[in-house]
Structure 1
């Protein structure tokens, strides 16, 4: 157990969770996978600022969920290794693992245990990328074959150590984002060694390969499934696209297949994180060549986004498209998984006041988006992954993180609070009319994102957080 249990007894079971009607849902202190004194202090500090009792209880359950239940610490060659599972799926997703630990970044500078965790995860992600940059999920044992039932017979190049091999642009963005966030928070150069640089170079090379300027590249994927979103069309190569400088993606961050290969929010995220990679390469690794390579690709993709990434809705509004094919075809929709069009400001891809993004986000939260659902108990964005009428609380959290007015944030907080089915945790999706019907009772990314929202509100809108909902 990283960090140790000593000195944590007083904060291990916070007093705010002691009400008989709202018992803490955290594991017993001795059963937690990872403990951090600074995280425990943060739970107590922020909880004291939350006016709504149920919201306070949910924060106490959700904020430490990644540390309590999903972190598996070890050492490899004497250096820390952190394998972070998604929750109910015991594998490491590059995207999820990065997002799961993000809410603790601001505490890392003063917490040696957290720094060990971040160093271990950055190293684990680099080793994973070097196994296969096209994979989205990995096994803890790099010699093991996948044990995911749905991936056992995939027609793609499955290597040992790979749990699932769905090519998603954001799978390589998130380790860049994590590296930059850690460097900015700590100024600790320790994780940024030759292995990290090799993984970063391979990530850039993979992005260039998937610009498909000189043929379709090496990646293809087929899966036998009754759900078309689980496999790629045209013998696994994906639908046709005209090369234009954008990066092609086989799958969305939902793990659903793209309809058109140029996923715009993922390309925007790639531009942003490539520039963040350049900062880390230059300042922490002192690798000017890597920084130059990352910046050059970001500049090229950004120009292609300006030329090809926008579309007009039926009412004439210009917005960011969700996907395009380079032939002039585009679709407008949004999916709750991040990167999404709704999350562009949260991800740092655009300014929160950017008019193009504001129009796009407003359209995404309306019937212009076929995956915007509004029912008796919940409204928000879902996606094809779970089905129609299923609202993802993640979309409500992103909306609250991106909003500029108290009324919108308050409405999102109420809906998040009232759709947990009294479990104290955030789910993948909830039925718009009956939140007792939900998917994934243990989904650490969503729990952490909710915790991140509450910490953010404690810092930026304390009066809102303190008031009754």
Structure 2
């Protein structure tokens, strides 16, 4: 716990106490977990930024960090002292992007700790980089955090020279990876599972130009089977489009580049991603390569197809999304599991038949019904094996079998759902 987090933790606990959930175990879990990322994972750095560890791994994934602190954004009005911390998280993320935009996870200091010391890539890995797997969502995450902060506070001071310098770096990478065949980036890991390294000598399976952005690894950190990860591309399109009206006049070249990317992604999605699902309906593929190969599935990690309305990438009632959602929440999705304890989407990253609480919470976040949201909260609270923690993956029949004892991202997605439920309840009272 950092020196300034104790009163904030108390304020967050008080908020939970003042806003009870209908299910007692779910409420107790909400009360315990709401301060989790702040107290256990977040630490102030000498430069005034904030480092957010992913949980029981001592590294900061930019995607994880954004989703770990995202629930706090909507609590700024209730707990104003959260604002400088969240801005400090954003500043740390921007600094890491500038350090290495192809890396997915970073060390708190330049201590030369790496997931694997023998990884091979196209540059010498920085001693502050934990892992150098290229994932589109890594670069989207700071942009999402900035947009949500701006929406909540109206404070445009976030968008300073450093922000736009970093945005230019992100655009450079996205434009480069629209033409991956010309990219210098590769990633090889010896003596590992096939899904933990890129094939074809580290460059990934061949792709054709589609206008989409090539992605090395899924949000699970497992390799993309085909190079164009559709949820990540839609995530990129959404944050770029959201920033367009905020780009100042002296950076209109960035606006033009961002608009060109948005248009290319939208055309690529329309031409390559919308396909006939195994269910027979028109919906979204999970991955494509532009050469005719397609992966129909969804994974428990975010960005996922399931999470697209939460990310603002598609309307929850869009027919394409509804057909996609029906497919991925069925046994036709190879990573959807239904058991005695609960049902939901898992991942190649965890053992078969392990459901991800993140995916269960996300199913609640994109649900239209407040009753369904409450049911998801109760289900997660009932499947922690008495730990009160949202694990990474949990066996569909036996919650005592799980991966990761402390996974802060999952804990905070649970809190995100709780806050979403409470927001719906508040709106009903107002009516």
TM-score (norm 2): 0.94
Q: Residues 105 and 185 of structure 1 are in contact (CA less than 8 Å); yes or no, is this contact kept in structure 2?
A: yes
1:273 matches 2:244: no
1:428–1:216 CA distance, 2 compared to 1 (3 A): same
Q: 1:71 aligns with which of 33, 42, 48?
A: 42
1:280–1:463 CA distance, 2 compared to 1 (3 A): closer
Instruction: Give 1:403-418 correspondences, 5 Å limit.
Output: 403-418=367-382
Q: Matches of 1:406 and 1:189 in 2, distance apart?
A: 33
Deviation at 1:38, TM superposition (A): 4.7
How far does the alpha carbon of each residue in 1:431-462 deviate from its partner, in whole angstroms, 9 at most, with x for none? 11110011111111111110111111011046
Deviation at 1:463, TM superposition (A): 11
Unaligned runs of 5+ in 2: none
Deviation at 1:276, TM superposition (A): 2.0
**Alignment-derived partner of residue 117 in structure 2:** 152
1:431 matches 2:399: no
**Alignment-derived partner of residue 423 in structure 2:** 459
Deviation at 1:414, TM superposition (A): 3.1
**Alignment-derived partner of residue 303 in structure 2:** 339
Q: Matches of 2:45 and 2:246 in 1, distance apart?
A: 25
Q: Residues 12 and 79 of structure 2 are in contact (CA less than 8 Å); yes or no, is this contact kept in structure 1?
A: no
1:110–1:458 CA distance, 2 compared to 1 (3 A): closer
1:86 matches 2:54: yes
Instruction: Give 1:248-259 correspondences, 5 Å limit.
Output: 248-259=214-225
Deviation at 1:225, TM superposition (A): 3.5
Q: Residues 3 and 113 of structure 1 are in contact (CA less than 8 Å); yes or no, is this contact kept in structure 2?
A: no
Q: 2:161 aligns with which of 174, 190, 194?
A: 194
**Alignment-derived partner of residue 209 in structure 1:** 176
**Alignment-derived partner of residue 43 in structure 1:** 16
**Alignment-derived partner of residue 327 in structure 1:** 291
Deviation at 1:403, TM superposition (A): 1.1
Q: Matches of 1:334 and 1:90 in 2, distance apart?
A: 28
Per the alignment, in what secondary structure is the counterpart of residue 259 of structure 1? coil
**Alignment-derived partner of residue 163 in structure 1:** 130
Deviation at 1:279, TM superposition (A): 3.7
Unaligned runs of 5+ in 1: 9-34, 465-469
Instruction: Give 1:57-456 correspondences, 5 Å limit.
Output: 57-76=28-47, 80-109=48-77, 111-141=79-109, 143-145=110-112, 147-148=113-114, 150-156=115-121, 157=123, 158-212=125-179, 215-282=181-248, 287-456=251-420
Per the alignment, in what secondary structure is the counterpart of residue 76 of structure 2? helix
1:110–1:424 CA distance, 2 compared to 1 (3 A): closer
1:113–1:442 CA distance, 2 compared to 1 (3 A): same
Deviation at 1:119, TM superposition (A): 1.9
Q: Matches of 1:448 and 1:265 in 2, distance apart?
A: 21
How far does the alpha carbon of each residue in 1:316-350 deviate from its partner, in whole angstroms, 9 at most, with x for none? 21110000010121110000000101111111100
1:413–1:114 CA distance, 2 compared to 1 (3 A): closer
Per the alignment, in what secondary structure is the counterpart of residue 236 of structure 2? helix
How far does the alpha carbon of each residue in 1:110-153 deviate from its partner, in whole angstroms, 9 at most, with x for none? 64531211221111111111111010011112x332x23x4211
Q: Matches of 1:131 and 1:406 in 2, distance apart?
A: 43
Q: Matches of 1:115 and 1:411 in 2, distance apart?
A: 31
Count of equivalent residues? 426
